[in-house]
Amino acid sequence: MIPHVFPRPRSRRLSVTPLSRTCLRVLCLSALLCLSACQSPAGFIDRAAVAPVIDGQLDDACWKSAPVIDANFRFDGQSLRDPQPRLRVRYAWDEHYLYLAYDVTDANLVALPDGSPQGPADNRRQTPLAWGPEKKLDLVEFFVTMEGYDNPVVAWEIHHDAANHFGDIWTIVPPEDSLLRRSSMIPFWGKHFMAVEEYVQDDGPFRVASAVRLKPKADGAPSTVNDPRDTDTGYTAELRLPWRGLGAPTTWRVGATTPGLSGDEIGKPIAFDMRRHRIRLFAAMLDGDGPNPIYFHSSPTMPKKTLFAPRYIDWPVYECRDGARR
C-alpha cells in the first residue's frame, strides 16, 4: 500500500451501509487507508499579519508567536534527540510567501560557496557548498512540498548557511515501488531526480530573499565564519520564498472562481489563500565539527542514516491557518 502523502482532514468520514462480504472487505481496506490518511498534522503554520523584515533578526511579531520546532533529532538514530540545542526553526506564511526562520547553535561556523551564482538576473544568489567533511562544512537544509504534488512528489530542497549562501534544487521523488524510479531521469542513487540548475522563481515584485545575523560570542563580538581560532555561538537566519515560485497551485489563489487563470490574471502576481492547505516541511542541519560530520533534523520518524529526499513520508506535515491561536 502506498500511504497517502497528505492526510486528509478528520471531518471526512466513510459512509458504507450495505455490509455484504465484499463491502466489508472494502470497508476494512478503506479503514486501513484512513489510518494513514486521517492522522493529525504535526503542527500549524500561522499567517503573519505583518510580514517579517528579512534581516536575520528574529524579533518580528510573527516569530514571537510562532511555535519553535527543535530540529535536533540525530541522523544516527531514529527518534533520538541530541542533548544539545542544534537547530531551531519557525515557520510563517502570508498571501505571497512561505517564511522560514532558524537559529543555529554551533561553536565553529564554516560556510563555503559552490559554483556559479544562480537565480534571475536581478536576484542572483551564491549557492553554498553542500558537502565537505574535510573542510568541516556546515549547512542548513529545508525540504518543502505541497499537498497534491504527491505522485510523484515534487519538492524543493533549499540550502542555506552562515555566509547567507542560498541554494535551491528542484526535486522529483517517485514512490518507492513506482516504475518511475527506473526512469533515465532518476540518476541519483536510483531514488530521485535533482534539477540543480533550477531555482525558485520570483513572482513579479515578490522575490526570494534571505539574511543571516551572526550571534555574539562570549566577548560580545559577532561569531565568525571560516575562522576556527575563536569559539562561535551560532547565527540566526530568515528566508522568504514566494508561493508561486514554490509551485503552489493557482487554484489556491485568493478569490479563485475558475480552475485556471483568467486573461487579466496571467502575468500578474498571485495572492494565495493558504488556509487549511497542508505542506510537508522538513528541516535539517549538517554540523561538520567533531571526528565525523553529522546531521540533525526535525522528523521523529525519519529512519536512521537515511537519505532525506526519498523519505518524504517522514517529512512532518503542517497545516496553514489564519492567525495565532496559541
Give the residues lining the site for Ca ion (CB under 5 A). 52-53, 55, 57, 60, 106, 108, 138, 224, 227, 230, 232, 287, 289
Shortest spacing between CB 280 and Ca ion, in angstroms: 25
Q: Which is nearer to Ca ion, 78 or 224 (CB)?
A: 224
Q: Which is nearer to Ca ion, 167 or 293 (CB)?
A: 293
Shortest spacing between CB 13 and Ca ion, in angstroms: 43
Distances 281 to 44, 93, 117, 147 between C-alpha atoms, Å: 11, 13, 25, 11
Shortest spacing between CB 204 and Ca ion, in angstroms: 22
Shortest spacing between CB 314 and Ca ion, in angstroms: 25
Shortest spacing between CB 94 and Ca ion, in angstroms: 14
- The single residue listed with the C-alpha cell 539574511 is 211
Q: What is the layout of strands, in order, in the sheet containing 209-214?
A: 69-70, 87-93, 97-105, 234-242, 209-214
Do the bridges between strand 193-195 and strand 317-321 make them parallel or antiparallel, or are there none, so unpaired?
A: unpaired
Query: Computed over its alpha carbons, how large is the radius of gyration of the chain?
Result: 21
Q: Which is nearer to Ca ion, 59 or 198 (CB)?
A: 59
The string of DSSP codes covering 204-252 is TTB--EEEEEEPB-TTSSBP-BS-TTS---EEEEEEEEEHHHHT--GGG
Q: Which is nearer to Ca ion, 99 or 282 (CB)?
A: 99
CA distance 246 to 225: 30
From the list 164, 167, 165, the residue with the least C-alpha distance to 214 is: 164
Shortest spacing between CB 14 and Ca ion, in angstroms: 46
Residues with Cβ < 8 Å from 206, sequence gap 6 or more? 96, 97, 242, 244, 269
Q: Which is nearer to Ca ion, 234 or 310 (CB)?
A: 234
By beta carbon distance, the residue nearest Ca ion is 224
Residues with Cβ < 8 Å from 71, sequence gap 6 or more? 86, 87, 88, 89, 102, 283, 284, 285, 296, 297, 298
Q: Which is nearer to Ca ion, 55 or 273 (CB)?
A: 55
Q: Which is nearer to Ca ion, 55 or 322 (CB)?
A: 55
Shortest spacing between CB 49 and Ca ion, in angstroms: 15
Answer for the pair 202, 242: CB distance below 8 angstroms, yes or no.
yes
